[in-house]
Amino acid sequence: MEVVILGGSRQVGRLAADAVEQLVRRKPDAVLGLATGSSPLPVYDELAARHGQGLDFCQASAFALDEYVGLPAGHPASYREVVRREFTNRVNIAPENVHVPDGTAADIPAACAAYEEAMAAAGGIDLQLLGVGTDGHIGFNEPSSSFASRTRIKSLIEQTRRDNARFFDNLGGVPHHVITQGLGTIMAARHVILLATGAQKAQAVRDLVEGPVAAICPASVLQFHPHATILLDEAAASALKLADFYRHTYENKPAWQGL
């Protein structure tokens, strides 16, 4: 696990966008894993700007991490719409190459299995973007989630519903269930980049980076990932005991290692 501490969310977004750009230039048909929420928005803004300067996504494909269950098609808070609005409609990824779990499916388990099959058929995720919840969840893998889990339906804890209520008219409008890629699915991605900004994420960041690997903090499973990059601003890094070491390591990193 590499921990990189930067000055603010714009720097975090730029560095993550650098990794995506390098991947897409090296492998034009790259498979991207897309997160929603506030953390990846600077990344998407940066990638949209770079697309305007010639970065080509026409051969790439993308899979969203999760989707609410039961929101009608076109609902502005559905992750299908968020992914389109914030990223894929701003670049030239073909619409048929953008995949989101089907939260309106009549047979949810079958839809989850089909989503796993689609990722496998695409060759697996090359680079997965992640945020982290204040309780340490990634995707919608809430505390106590199995580290071996695959795409499935999950119930949201009330803290997560409260955290996400800002995207809805009120708390009552936030669904109680989601489809999410599992922790085992996320761990199968070849490169994982987790972004966290703001003091409200400091405890979760400390738990995932320096705490024990435990189901109470699902993101801690990334300690076992062979290529996990944790991008933080100063506020999100404020509880880390080894912050100075992480800064020193990044400042003296050989250029050939990349991100």
**CA 89/CA 39 separation, integer angstroms:** 19
Token pair recorded at residue 104: 């309106």
Note the pLDDT tens digit of each residue in 43-93: 999 999 999 999 999 999 999 999 999 998 889 999 999 999 999 999 999
What are 136's two structure tokens?
């340490």
Residue 159 has pLDDT above 90, yes or no: no
Task: Give just the sign of the alpha carbon dihedral 240, 223, 217, 219.
Answer: positive
Tokens found for residue 141: 């893998």
pLDDT, tens digit, 9 for 90 and up, residues 165-191: 988 989 999 999 999 999 999 999 999
pLDDT given at position 167: 86
d(CA 66, CA 103): 9
CB 79 within 8 A of CB 50: no
Strands 61-64 and 31-34: parallel
At 163, the pLDDT band (50, 70, 90 cuts) reads confident
Q: What is the mean pLDDT of residues 216-221?
A: 98
Identify the burial level of 44 via C-beta atoms within 10 angstroms of its C-beta, where 0-12 means exposed, 13-18 middle and 19 or more buried: buried
- Residue 182 three-state SS: coil
Active site residues: 66, 135, 137, 142
Q: Which two tokens stand for residue 214?
A: 């435990």
What are the start-end ranges of the E strands in 22-167? 31-34, 61-64, 66-68, 98-99, 127-130, 152-155
User: Which amino acid is located at 54 in the chain?
Assistant: G
Q: Which amino acid is at 1?
A: M
Report whether pLDDT(37) > 90: no
Q: CA 89 to CA 92: how far, in whole Å?
A: 7
Q: Which two three-digit tokens encode residue 172?
A: 């009552």
CA–centroid distance for 204 within its chain: 15
Q: Report whether pLDDT(160) > 90.
A: no
pLDDT score, position 201: 97
